[in-house]
Structures are given as C-alpha cells and as structure tokens.
Structure 1
Amino acid sequence: MRNGSIPGTHGRVRPLTLLGGPLLHEPCGAVSDFGPELAALVEDLFATMYAAEGVGLAANQIGVPLRVFVYDCPDDEEVRHLGHVVNPRLVEADGLVLRGPEGCLSLPGLEAPTERYDHAVVEGFTATGEPLTIHGTGFFARCLQHECDHVDGRTYADRVEGRRHRRLMRQVARASWRTGG
C-alpha cells in the first residue's frame, strides 16, 4: 500500500519483491524467535516502506518468508495508525464491503478496484512478544486486510476478478518493472 510521508528510520532499505516472485504466493512461516534479528527486520521493513512511499509492508515483500508486517496508515478520518504485527491473524473482517482503488509496493505504479470490508481486527504480537489487538476502519481496515493477505501468500491482484483482473494483468505485463524498460 502507498503513502506520501517519509519520517526518519534506523533500518536499511531492502529491495522489494515484485509480483511474480514466488514468496508472494506462499504462506509465510510463524516467528518463534523474538530477539534482535526480529527487531532489525521490523526496522528494515519501516525503512523500506518509507523509501517506497508506502503505508504498509509485509516481510515477504522484502524476501523474508515470515509472518510480520508494518504499517503507517491513516483511517478515513485521517487518524494516523503506526505499528507492526508479528504472527498476525485476521480475526474479524466485517461491515460494509467497499470497492476502492488498491495499490501495492510489489506492483509499483498500478492499482485496481478491490473489494474489502470497512472494519477489520488483527491479533498478533509485538517484536518483543507482547500480545496485541488492532482494530481498523475504512482505509486502515483495507490496509490491515491487504497486509494479512500478504503473509497468507496472496496479493490484491488475487482478489480482483473478471474484466478488472484481465485489465490489471495486461498492465502488469506492460509495466516497466516487468519488461525491464
């Protein structure tokens, strides 16, 4: 998911895995070690997300097949939500189903109308192993569902159907990051 602000961070920017990379279509493994390597991964995820002007980023998008994602995302009332989740589980997705434009740092420059619920609840842990529950509405709920899809081995392109899916796949085939041009 994309955003415009780039606050400072201490992690290193890593290359993004683009659509077609096998890690994007495989469920990620659970984190069992809540040590310094996990904290460094979270910092790298933030650095990479900000460098790419995103609002969320999952570990498999930087080549690490673990259930971790970060976010810095507003909701529909422009309230900023900032954090990370280790071993996330989408435990609720309900309310209205809204079709809205959705993009992804693994499909740079593209977006497609994607259906998401306008309320989501994610449970998981912090990088230090503390349990947490995150409630999201509106755009932030979309972000939470999008990132949970990533750790489950799905992209928003997998949710787009019919004519919209065919159009998105044509755009992917022509994208400069796919053609090298």
Structure 2
Amino acid sequence: MAVRSILISGDPVLHTPAAPVVDFDDDLRALVADMFETMDAAPGVGLAGPQVGVGLRLFTFSYTDDDDVTWRGVAINPELWITPIPAGFADEDEDVEGCLSFPGERFPLMRAQSAILRAVDLDQQPFEIRADGWLARIFQHEFDHLDGTLYVDRLEYPDAKLAAKISRKRSWGVPGLSWLPGVDNLED
C-alpha cells in the first residue's frame, strides 16, 4: 500500500468521464488499498479513481454517522439514484462541502437529501446502500467525479466566481498539478 498523489482541478482525467472497471485483478486490489490509504492520509471521507489519476469508475468512502455507525467501502461501477435537489440556497453552515482535488477550500452546495447507491465490491459482489444526509452527499460528490464533474463546477454565483478566482490565484486549472497527503500542505 502507498499514499498516492491527488490531482488538482484542471487535470484532464478529473474532467473526463471515467471508464468502467473490467479487470478485477491484483492491480485493482492494490489500487483500492492505495486509495484507502490516500483517503485516510488526506484526510477525506471519499476518493474517486480519477483523483489519483486512474480514469476508472470506482470510489472509496469512509464516514461515521451520528449513530456511530461507520460506513467504509469501495463502490465499483456504481449507479446512483437521488431524490430531487431542494429548491433554494445552500445553507452556509449545513451544506458546506470540500474536495481533495480543490484542496483547502469549502463552499456551500445544495445536494439531494437521499440517495441509493448500487455497485459491486472487489469480489464483484453487488450491494446497495440507501443513504441520507452526509452519506448521501458523499456518494453524490464521488459519483460526480466519475462523470468528470468537480463540486466547484456545480457552484452558483458568487461562490463560483470566488472558486475561479482561487484557482487562478493558485495557478490551478492546468494539467499535471497534484499534492501528496502527509507531505504537501496546501492550506493557506
């Protein structure tokens, strides 16, 4: 296992739909182990293949809910169904989201309250998770990565303008930029 570099917004693999996983082999198992180690080191609650430069449809997740239930796993070739996204504006405290590929920043974003995730695990066993609240948000965020969408791409004005300004100030938005959890400190 190894901590991998996390790509920063602007790299083409982050903005391209990922391909389905077809080979369930030792290389995939090593990738997933590295993704868990990277996610934990970052620290994060989710990490998608494209974020570590692998354009495949998979993501890891790890979240402990208010009932102290820990949800940890890998979703390979996932499908996601969500409830309608509420109308209105995101709450500045309750709906704030961050991303390891836009490190050090958090913005409010409306997401669906509930989601159903269907995927397979490393042994190609299908599973389904019905999620509400933050777990549903995590699934939506990571699923977006598999479609080439970062959460900052979904922001509304004025947050979208501020995110673009931050990206320009930090010289992001170009291919090849990354950071290594445990080594690089990208916080201002």
Q: TM-score range by the shorter chain?
A: 0.7 to 0.9
| 1:50 is the counterpart of 2:59 | no
The residue number in structure 2 matching 1:7 is: none
How far is 1:170 from its partner?
A: 1.2
Structure 1, unaligned stretches of length 5 or more?
Answer: 1-10
Distance 2:41 2:64 in 1: 18
The residue number in structure 2 matching 1:24 is: 14
Distance 2:165 2:42 in 1: 23
Contact 1:58 1:151 in 2 (8 A): yes
Q: CA RMSD in A?
A: 2.2
Distance 1:148 1:12 in 2: 23
Contact 1:74 1:139 in 2 (8 A): no
Among 91, 102, 124, the alignment partner of 2:97 is 102
Percent identity, please: 39
The residue number in structure 2 matching 1:113 is: 108
How far is 1:33 from its partner?
A: 0.9
Q: 1:80 to 1:164 in 2, by over 3 A?
A: same
Give the partner amino acid of 1:93. Answer: I
- Per-residue displacement from partner, 1:97-127 (whole Å, max 9, x unpaired)? 3831110000110111111011111111001
- Per-residue displacement from partner, 1:110-154 (whole Å, max 9, x unpaired)? 111111011111111001111111221111110000000001110
Distance 1:140 1:175 in 2: 30
Q: 1:156 to 1:48 in 2, by over 3 A?
A: same
Contact 2:116 2:129 in 1 (8 A): yes
| Bigger RCO (CA 8 Å, 6+ sep) | 2
The residue number in structure 2 matching 1:5 is: none
Structure 2, unaligned stretches of length 5 or more?
Answer: 178-185
The residue number in structure 2 matching 1:123 is: 118
Any idea what SS the aligned residue of 1:109 has? strand
Q: 1:77 to 1:119 in 2, by over 3 A?
A: farther
Task: Give the TM-score, by structure 2 length.
Answer: 0.83
| 1:174 is the counterpart of 2:163 | no
Distance 1:126 1:172 in 2: 35
Distance 1:70 1:129 in 2: 15
The residue number in structure 1 matching 2:30 is: 40
